[in-house]
């Protein structure tokens, strides 16, 4: 029985032989071309069976020409684009992401790691495309059935969350803990600070979409995302790439058909984009300050820091509850809304007993 090989369009911008291509041909059905127009035509011809587009930029000259054509034809919406490059300039990489590529691989990346990442990206897009087809078919018959529509949208959100966990970025319970912490903070704010106009429905919406806060990390290379403490802190360039997960998450959110009409869209988008903003304006990606940061993103930002400190990560050990509280209250983890700090003071002990003393959740 023949082994299934995902079909990949491989575009290379030079006539020089690509030495690592032979490895790819073992595991993938490769269609290769170094002609920009032919690459676009082939992508349309093979669109229904194409699993990914890999672009090697050996000469760095016409890379953006072909990216622009793929982007303008909306090909990257259903087929993930991956660049393999020796160019580590953050401006160059950022420009490539602006054209809709899904990931960037350094040429120094170990092939076995690259292979695993490609399979996971293919699987993610396969699931997303299937969900899109299902969603579009159902939209024809349930436009007036609001409850069923909301359920289908939530299924998409859950699938995206599961795709993130399958990459083993954090513990599988990280998303559950984040949901519980954010819901607790939101409830406290709704009761103690009416000025935020947080209703019971708002609390539920924030809790529902909180697990999506880091979905954009699927687009971050493993060498950065899973860099162990023993390898040292992230370099400035690595950190700049890490920060792009906020924008990548928004792209995934925006790729869900008709989701912008959903009541969950605003919360999803704001949380994905702004959960690393800080009260003093020293966060990212937009350096929003104070009340300009959406309250749902503020809630998730504090919940994320709280959970990250209490749990072991590849780059740090776990801290005690007292150490965690002191680090946040002393401003060692960035600046937060004073109202949220009051929330932390009042809720931290209860959250810890309810979640972190349950070893199956940590």
Half-sphere exposure of residue 298: CA atoms within 13 angstroms, side-chain side: 25
Beta-carbon contacts of 323 under 8 Å, excluding residues fewer than 6 positions away, are 309
**Of 128, 179, 217, 227, which one is the catalytic site residue?**
217
The sign of the torsion formed by the CA atoms of 24, 30, 34, 40 equals: negative
- SS3 of residue 175 by DSSP: helix
Question: 217 catalytic, yes or no?
Answer: yes
- Round to whole Å and give the CA distance between 117 and 120: 5
Q: What is the largest CA-CA distance in the chain?
A: 66
Check if the beta carbon of residue 157 is closer than 8 Å to that of residue 346: no
Burial status of residue 231 (CB atoms within 10 A of its CB: 0-12, 13-18, 19 or more): exposed
Element (H, E) at 83: strand 81-85
Beta-carbon contacts of 67 under 8 Å, excluding residues fewer than 6 positions away, are 55, 81, 96, 99, 100, 101
Provide Rg for the chain, Cα atoms: 22
Check if the beta carbon of residue 264 is closer than 8 Å to that of residue 205: yes
- Round to whole Å and give the CA distance between 336 and 163: 30
Tell me if the bond preceding 285 is cis, omega within 30° of 0: yes
Provide the annotated active-site residues: 217
């Amino acid at each position: 029985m023949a082994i299934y090989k995902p079909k990949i369009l491989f575009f290379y911008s030079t006539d020089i032989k690509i030495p690592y291509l032979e490895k790819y041909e073992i595991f993938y059905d490769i269609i290769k071309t170094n002609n920009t127009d032919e690459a676009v035509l082939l992508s349309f011809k093979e669109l229904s069976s194409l699993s990914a587009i890999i672009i090697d930029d050996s000469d760095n000259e016409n890379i953006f020409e072909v990216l622009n054509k793929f982007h303008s034809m909306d090909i990257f919406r259903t087929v993930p684009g991956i660049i393999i490059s020796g160019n580590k300039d953050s401006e160059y990489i950022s420009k490539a992401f602006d054209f809709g590529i899904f990931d960037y691989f350094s040429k120094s990346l170990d092939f076995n790691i690259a292979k695993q990442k490609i399979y996971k990206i293919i699987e993610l897009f396969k699931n997303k495309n299937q969900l899109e087809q299902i969603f579009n078919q159902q939209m024809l018959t349930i436009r007036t059935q609001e409850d069923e529509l909301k359920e289908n949208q939530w299924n998409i959100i859950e699938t995206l969350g599961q795709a993130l966990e399958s990459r083993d970025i954090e513990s599988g319970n990280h998303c559950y803990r984040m949901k519980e912490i954010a819901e607790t903070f939101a409830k406290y704010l709704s009761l103690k600070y009416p000025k935020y106009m947080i209703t019971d429905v708002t609390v539920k919406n924030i809790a529902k979409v909180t697990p999506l806060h880091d979905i954009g990390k699927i687009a971050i290379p493993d060498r950065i995302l899973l860099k162990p403490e023993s390898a040292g802190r992230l370099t400035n360039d690595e950190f700049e790439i890490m920060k792009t997960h906020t924008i990548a998450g928004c792209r995934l959110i925006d790729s869900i058909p008709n989701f912008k009409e959903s009541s969950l869209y605003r919360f999803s988008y704001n949380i994905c984009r702004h959960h690393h903003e800080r009260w003093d304006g020293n966060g990212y990606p937009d350096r929003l300050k104070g009340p300009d940061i959406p309250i749902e993103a503020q809630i998730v930002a504090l919940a994320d820091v709280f959970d990250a400190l209490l749990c072991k990560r590849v780059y740090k050990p776990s801290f005690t509850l007292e150490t965690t509280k002191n680090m946040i209250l002393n401003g060692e983890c960035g600046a937060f809304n004073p109202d949220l700090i009051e929330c932390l003071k009042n809720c931290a002990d209860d959250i810890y007993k309810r979640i972190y003393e349950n070893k199956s959740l940590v």
